[in-house]
Amino acid sequence: MKRYPDIPLLDQDGLHRIPLRFYALLLLLLRPYLCWIVTLVMPEAERKAVLSFFYPLSDDFVRAVLIAIPALLVLAAVSQRVPYDKKLRRGRAKKFWFALWRQSRWLLLGVAAVDLYWTISHLPAYVALRAPGLLLVVAALALSCLYLLRSRQLRLVFSEWPEDKKA
């Protein structure tokens, strides 16, 4: 068994560190929102080309945004995963966020599975020529489903929530 003495397993609050793969997974699942933000920044002439790279039909984009709403809630729960400390003025350990955080693994798995199904079922003809980015998305979504099912570290991360610090 390999040992990594230089890598700390816990963060400053005594919780398991959230792996970087989890953040990459969130980026993958929130790609409709990221594309939306990128297209809002671009000139009007290039907006349609950027969106059509991942979403050949505009209806697919709207559906992808709706599918990714639970991933937005998980992103909000990640931001609330700090203990309340009156001195530092940070964090509020709410029961809602904790309940959502405990179920986040299954929420993300559901979002990834629905997104994978939707992406595969709506692949355009000649996908390798017209929208090659969709093939990468399909492979990444399949790997993310496996990661959510098999990762032991994510099970530990989703099972804990920080305690409030005493004043």
Tens of each residue's pLDDT in the chain, 167 residues: 566 555 567 776 677 888 899 999 999 999 999 989 988 898 888 888 888 777 777 788 899 999 999 999 999 998 888 766 666 666 565 778 888 989 999 999 999 999 999 988 887 777 777 777 778 889 999 999 999 999 988 998 898 877 666 65
Q: How many CB atoms lie within 10 A of CB 145?
A: 18
pLDDT for the residue numbered 112: 97
Distance CA 32, CA 74 (A): 15
CA 16 to chain centre: 18
The neighbour count for residue 67, using CB atoms within 10 Å, is 19
pLDDT at residue 92 in the model: 61
Q: How many CB atoms lie within 10 A of CB 7?
A: 7
Domain ranges of the chain: 20-158
For position 1, what pLDDT does the model report? 59
- Per-residue pLDDT at 162: 74
Calculate the alpha carbon distances from 76 to 2, 4, 16, 87, 158 in Å.
Answer: 34, 31, 18, 23, 14
Greatest Cα pair distance, the chain, in angstroms, is: 62
